[in-house]
């Protein structure tokens, strides 16, 4: 990953001006590089990393393991497309191993998520089975530690 992407991954709110200083480039060059990344679809968006647990009415998250019957010609794409289209679904990954699709779902309550799985996911044709795992707490998400304590300074105060 180049430095521009690395910096934005850490903090997407860095301004073009700040990025230019950090990268020793002109603002123009940085702006163009950003545009190119967006056009190529390498940068897909800029989002806040939320610690949902701090919100009133914190939502519930679950990981659903989906076993599916891949379709001739289409493979997993068709089922993935249908799963992705559901707005409760946050992430969809095709997995190697014991199941096929890992689906992260967000809902208001456990009940709601359970009903969503029962009524919307497991009923999709070509879905063979589902297994639902509720998330109890998130410690780290998108590379960001969600706990409040600042990363502890492990260094002493050696002023050499």
Partner 1 sequence: MKKIPVNRNLDSLKPSGIRKFFDIANEMKDVISLSIGEPDFQTPWHIRQAGIQAAEEGKTWYSPSMGFLALREEISSYLQRRFDLHYSPKSEVLVTVGASEAIDTIFRALINEGDEVLVIQPSFVCYDPLIRMSGGIPVILETKAENKFKLTANELKNKITPKTRMLVISFPTNPTGAIMEKEELEALAEVLRDTEILVLSDEIYCELNYTEKSHVSIASLPEMRERTILVNGFSKSYAMTGWRIGYTCAPVEIIEQLTKIHQYMVMCAPTISQYAAIEAMKHGDEDVKRMRNEYNMRRRYLVDRLNAMGLNCFEPEGAFYAFPCIRSTGLTSEEFCEKLIYSKQVAVVPGTAFGDCGEGFIRISYSYSLKHITEAMNRMESFLNELKHE
User: Which residues here bind partner 1, judged by CB under 8 A?
Assistant: 3, 7, 10-11, 18, 21-24, 153, 155-160
**C-alpha to C-alpha distance for 29 and 32, rounded to whole angstroms:** 5
For residues 36 and 144, which CB has a smaller minimum distance to partner 1 in the complex? Answer: 144
Q: What angle do CA 18, 9, 37 make, to 5 degrees?
A: 80
Nearer to partner 1, 21 or 118 (CB): 21
Helices (H), the chain: 3-10, 16-23, 27-39, 77-84, 110-116
Longest C-alpha distance within the chain, in Å? 67
Tokens 């123009």 appear where? 28
Supply the minimum distance, in Å, between the C-beta of residue 24 and partner 1.
Answer: 6
Q: Which is nearer to partner 1, 15 or 129 (CB)?
A: 15
Quote the least distance from Cβ 55 to partner 1, whole Å: 23
Q: Which is nearer to partner 1, 96 or 158 (CB)?
A: 158
Report the nearest approach of partner 1 to the CB of residue 62 (Å). Answer: 32
Environment class of residue 64 by beta-carbon count within 10 Å: exposed (0-12), middle (13-18) or buried (19+)? buried
CB of 155 to partner 1, least distance (A): 5
């Amino acid at each position: 990953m180049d430095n521009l992407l690395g910096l934005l991954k850490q903090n997407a709110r860095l301004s073009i001006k700040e990025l230019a200083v950090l990268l020793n480039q002109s603002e123009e060059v940085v702006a163009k590089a950003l545009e190119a990344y967006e056009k190529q679809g390498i940068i897909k968006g800029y989002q806040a990393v939320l610690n949902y647990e701090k919100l009133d009415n914190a939502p519930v998250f679950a990981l659903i393991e989906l076993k599916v019957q891949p379709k001739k010609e289409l493979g997993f794409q068709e089922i993935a497309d249908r799963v992705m289209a559901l707005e409760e679904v946050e992430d969809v990954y095709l997995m190697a191993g014991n199941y096929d699709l890992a689906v992260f779902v967000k809902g208001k309550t456990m009940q709601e998520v359970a009903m969503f799985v029962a009524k919307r996911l497991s009923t999709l044709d070509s879905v063979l089975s589902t297994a639902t795992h509720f998330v109890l707490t998130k410690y780290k998400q998108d590379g960001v530690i969600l706990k409040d304590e600042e990363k502890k300074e492990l260094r002493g105060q050696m002023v050499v």
